Amino acid sequence: MKLSGKVAIVTGGGGGMAAGISTALAEEGCDIALLDINPEEAEKVAVAARALGRKSMVVGCDVTRHLDVQAAIGKVYDQFGHVDILVNNAGYGQYILVKDMTEEMWDRMIAVHLKGTFSCTKAVIDKMIVQGSGRIINISSVSGMMGAPTHSHYAAAKAGMIGFTKGLAKELAAHQITVNAVAPGIVETPFIGRMNQDLKEKVIASTLLGRLGRPRDIAAVVAFLATEDAGFITGQVISPNGGLLI
Ligand SMILES: NC(=O)c1ccc[n+]([C@@H]2O[C@H](COP(=O)([O-])OP(=O)(O)OC[C@H]3O[C@@H](n4cnc5c(N)ncnc54)[C@H](O)[C@@H]3O)[C@@H](O)[C@H]2O)c1
């Protein structure tokens, strides 16, 4: 096991991707803290990590609320004593043309993905600097690299996460903290529940490997980035997308 004794925070911890990521990290020996606005769903993911023999905890938290995030991550430090890996994964999709988008829709999208990533990062980096180690993994999207009609606000937020990843990687490299973005293609989770069948079929037809992604496809990349084996990788965008974008 490559992550024995490590502690990871996964935001959006009750979601489909988080379930895969949490399991992959737990299988490598990592204890897991899940932050989610919907703690009931996250509890199911925590139970799965415990079934693998790991410790796990859930903290209810809206990542857009900066002070709540600091308090939630404070509880993780109280429980586990240290945090080695932060996976900024909380998010949601919304399909709407810019001409119909309201200011509230725009603000919420940017707040959850971009401000949430900032706030969670702020809550761990001082202690990671003291530790002289850490892994920050930001879940972006192919949309942040190629754009997509009907979710330009989402694409803007995910592109912003890539810029943040690169800047932060430059700031933290001297402390042996790596910062990377994972930009998945379309993955079968509740997130794509509102995507219509026609669009799903178009995505599959445009994907070289001829299928949607599975949470495990993304989780394997995240788990690798969390290990010592990935210690020379920082500031990168790794895109498990089945050949949707090459
Ligand atoms: N599924 C895909 O096709 C896909 C593709 C690329 C990127 N992503 C990204 O992967 C991440 C995880 O998505 P998923 O597919 O697991 O979706 P999901 O809907 O299954 O899970 C998202 C989780 O985030 C939580 N969440 C939403 N807003 C929150 C907030 N303000 N504070 C705390 N938690 C919040 C939700 O409660 C949910 O548990 C998201 O950032 C998403 O943008 C998904």
Ligand 1 midpoint to CA 51 (Å): 23
The minimum-distance atom of ligand 1 relative to the CA of 111 is 31
Q: pLDDT class for 187, splitting at 50, 70, 90?
A: very high
The overall average pLDDT reported for the chain is 97
Query: Is pLDDT at 97 greater than 80 in this prediction?
Result: yes
- For a pocket test of ligand 1, which of 11, 34, 92 has the largest count of ligand atoms closer than 8 A to its C-beta? 92
> Does the CB atom of residue 89 touch ligand 1 within 6 A?
yes
Domain of 13, CATH number, reads 3.40.50.720
Cβ contacts of 216 within 8 Å, gap of 6 or more: 20, 24
The answer to whether residues 106 and 160 touch, using CB atoms and an 8 Å cutoff, is no
* Residue 168 domain flag: yes
The minimum-distance atom of ligand 1 relative to the CA of 41 is 39
Specify the residue for token string 């989770």. 189
Ligand 1 midpoint to CA 2 (Å): 26
Q: How far is CA 208 from CA 195, 212, 244, in A?
A: 20, 10, 6
- Which residue has the least CA distance to atom 36 on ligand 1? 12
Query: Which burial class, exposed, middle or buried, applies to 196 when counting CB atoms under 10 A from its CB (0-12, 13-18, 19+)?
Result: exposed
pLDDT value, residue 202: 92
Ligand 1 midpoint to CA 200 (Å): 18
pLDDT value, residue 172: 98
* Residue 70 domain flag: yes
* Residue 246 domain flag: no
Q: pLDDT class for 231, splitting at 50, 70, 90?
A: very high
> Does the CB atom of residue 37 touch ligand 1 within 6 A?
yes
The answer to whether residues 70 and 119 touch, using CB atoms and an 8 Å cutoff, is yes
State the Cα–Cα distance between residues 80 and 6, nearest whole angstrom: 10
* 82-92 pLDDT per residue, tens: 999 999 999 99
Mean pLDDT of 53-78: 98
List the catalytic residues: 154
- For a pocket test of ligand 1, which of 189, 199, 204 has the largest count of ligand atoms closer than 8 A to its C-beta? 189
* 210-220 pLDDT per residue, tens: 999 999 999 99
Ligand 1 midpoint to CA 174 (Å): 31
> Does the CB atom of residue 32 touch ligand 1 within 6 A?
no
The answer to whether residues 84 and 77 touch, using CB atoms and an 8 Å cutoff, is no
> Does the CB atom of residue 56 touch ligand 1 within 6 A?
no
pLDDT value, residue 132: 98
> Which residue, 11, 186, 160, is CA-closest to 90?
11
Query: What three-state secondary structure class fits 17?
Result: helix
Is-above-0.95 flag for pTM?
yes
Q: pLDDT class for 195, splitting at 50, 70, 90?
A: confident
Domain count of the fold of the chain = 1
* Residue 245 domain flag: no
Q: pLDDT class for 41, splitting at 50, 70, 90?
A: very high
Query: Is pLDDT at 71 greater than 90 in this prediction?
Result: yes
Ligand 1 midpoint to CA 90 (Å): 5
* Residue 2 domain flag: no
pLDDT value, residue 115: 98
Domain of 187? 7-238
